[in-house]
Amino acid sequence: MIQKKKQWVKGGLLTALIALVVVSATVVYGDLAGQKTETYEGLKLFSDVIAEIENNYVEPVEAKKLIEKAIEGMMGSLDPHSAFLPPEAFDDLQSETKGEFGGIGIVITMRDGRLTVISPIEGTPAYKAGVQAQDIIVKIDGESTKSTMLWEAVKKMRGDAGTTVKIHIYRKGEPEIMELTLVRAIIPMESVRSVTLKPGFGYLWITNFRENTADEVAKALKDMEKENSPLKGLVLDLRDNPGGLLDQAVKVADVFLETGTIVSIKGREGKESENYTAHPDGGSNRYPIVLLINGGSASASEIVAGALQDNGRALVVGTTSFGKGSVQTVRPLRDGYALKYTIARYYTPSGKSIQAEGIIPDLVVKRQLLDETAGDGFDANLIKEGDLENHLTSEEPDAALEAIEEKIDAAGEKDKEKTDKDADMTEAEKIMRLRDAVYEHSSSNSNALLQDSQVNRAYEILKGYDIFEGLSRK
């Protein structure tokens, strides 16, 4: 009798709490019963379900956890970039654009319920261990990642520098699951690197768009212009750049533009709409630019590529970009929680939405080693926005998913240890390492970059332009 009374009291308190939430929501958002009957009825159903599970489920459950999971499911059903962020996930998101953090250095997404690598970050533990785009991380420290929330997976892989994390990877074409033990390191927050390719020709590599990226770009250009007087041409590398802060993308594009639209943002019914334009700065940085993109170029990097392409400021070379043409906002909630969700689409200066389509290069050049045959090229199988579940333009799921999962299940615990010592580098890994020379900021090592077919073609275009310019002046 006492137990039943406790259950009744507990259930009664929960019902009262849910009722209070509904009443509060009514006060804040207006009379839901009068204006949004469907929403009001849904809230009543939700409170009924919570009360039923909390009172009668076979094991004790916490109403708070049930509610959090319900919100996670709601946000996850919208699109791949919307999420409910608990306090620890919100803190991690802020650290990505501000302070340093320890981790293994990969950009990941959820594709059809699988934790999938978009790209490794050059110079990090994951990069050095040979992690590649499209690798599926099936386990982290022995725990399956299937149906894991993205922020939970990120949290597991982050940690103090010097500590280890073990990941199991499925790679298409490999017969066995690969096991990698990685030592976490401080992930470099520097987002801009530069080097002189050849006298008069600079190379500027932007890895992502963080809080001070535009300032770093301005400084790198100033240094290169001082070293190469005059600077005859610039290769701007945005390959494998997953994006970042919108305002930094706008500022970087503005560095190279004197006039014109940079990007337009349009939300539902005119909300969140804005038009960003370039500002004149006296005609500096007027040298020709070849901008490199590939399937790993997403979001903010696509804004820059689209702005420079549509304004005729740069020739875009490479392969079609990722195609993330949506804008997210992060709204802090009470008790450290936050919502990250899509509020608008963005449009290039020509008025094109690239959502699930991508930036199409002016000149298609596949990425490969110049002294080897690469078939379809390294970029052929990179994940695109259109591959992600619930992306804003609907598309059928990947037909090969079931076959991939069968291979993963069949492989089971037959792990294969892969290290740089006992495994030959694949062509993809060799190509990725060509940019290592930029870490030393040394022109003497820049010849390695020119083995990359896309960088080499960009340099040849700039060199040819300079030659013709010289002929026209004679």
> Can you give the CATH number for the domain in which 209 is found?
3.90.226.10
Verify that 182 and 205 share a domain, yes or no: no
Contact 316, 291 (CB under 8 A): yes
User: For each of the chain's 474 residues, which pLDDT tens digit applies?
Assistant: 444 444 443 444 344 334 434 434 444 444 544 557 889 899 999 999 999 999 999 999 999 999 999 999 999 899 888 999 999 888 877 766 655 678 998 888 777 778 988 778 777 899 889 898 779 999 999 999 987 888 889 889 999 999 999 999 999 888 889 999 999 999 876 789 999 999 999 999 998 899 899 999 999 999 999 999 899 999 999 998 888 899 999 999 999 999 999 999 999 988 889 999 999 987 678 899 999 999 889 899 999 999 999 999 999 999 999 899 998 899 999 999 999 999 999 999 999 998 989 999 999 999 998 864 444 455 555 556 665 656 665 344 444 445 555 555 555 544 443 333 334 556 666 776 777 767 655 555 578 899 999 999 999 999 999 999 888 776
User: Any idea which residue has 């804040």 for tokens?
Assistant: 28
Verify that 104 and 167 share a domain, yes or no: yes
Residue 359 resides in a domain:
yes
Choosing from 164, 186, 208, the residue where a domain stops is 186
What is the CB-side half-sphere exposure of residue 387 using CA atoms within 13 A?
21
Is residue 299 among the annotated active site residues? Answer: yes
Contact 342, 316 (CB under 8 A): no
Verify that 175 and 211 share a domain, yes or no: no
Contact 243, 301 (CB under 8 A): yes
Verify that 263 and 284 share a domain, yes or no: yes
Contact 237, 152 (CB under 8 A): no
Helical (H) or strand (E) element with 138: strand 136-140
Choosing from 186, 204, 227, the residue where a domain stops is 186
- Domain extent for 225: 192-387+424-473
Verify that 433 and 284 share a domain, yes or no: yes
Verify that 277 and 362 share a domain, yes or no: yes
Verify that 32 and 133 share a domain, yes or no: no
CA distances from 68 to 90, 150, 459 (A): 14, 15, 52
The one catalytic residue in 191, 299, 321, 446 is 299
User: Any idea which residue has 């392969």 for tokens?
Assistant: 319
Classify burial at 206, counting beta carbons within 10 Å of its beta carbon; exposed 0-12, middle 13-18, buried 19 or more: buried
Verify that 216 and 242 share a domain, yes or no: yes
Amino acid at 419: T
Residue 392 resides in a domain:
no
Residue 395 resides in a domain:
no
The one catalytic residue in 310, 379, 387, 452 is 310
Is residue 324 among the annotated active site residues? Answer: yes
Beta-carbon neighbour count of residue 150 at 10 Å?
A: 17
Choosing from 155, 186, 217, the residue where a domain stops is 186
Verify that 169 and 39 share a domain, yes or no: no
The one catalytic residue in 128, 324, 384, 418 is 324
Residue 396 resides in a domain:
no
pLDDT at 353: 93
Q: How far apart are CA 456 and CA 365, in angstroms?
A: 10
pLDDT at 13: 39
Residue 316 resides in a domain:
yes
CA distances from 182 to 127, 129, 140, 162, 439 (A): 10, 8, 11, 9, 21
pLDDT at 249: 97
Verify that 259 and 335 share a domain, yes or no: yes
pLDDT at 414: 44
Beta-carbon neighbour count of residue 20 at 10 Å?
A: 10
Classify burial at 365, counting beta carbons within 10 Å of its beta carbon; exposed 0-12, middle 13-18, buried 19 or more: buried
Verify that 208 and 346 share a domain, yes or no: yes
- Indicate the pTM of the whole model: 0.75
pLDDT at 17: 39
Number of separate domains in the chain: 3
Residue 408 resides in a domain:
no
Give the CATH number of the domain where residue 118 resides.
2.30.42.10
Verify that 205 and 172 share a domain, yes or no: no
CA distances from 392 to 80, 81, 340, 387 (A): 9, 10, 16, 11
Q: How far apart are CA 91 and CA 75, in angstroms?
A: 19
Residue 419 resides in a domain:
no
Contact 345, 306 (CB under 8 A): no
User: Any idea which residue has 């199409």 for tokens?
Assistant: 360
Residue 465 resides in a domain:
yes
CA distances from 291 to 304, 306, 381 (A): 9, 10, 21
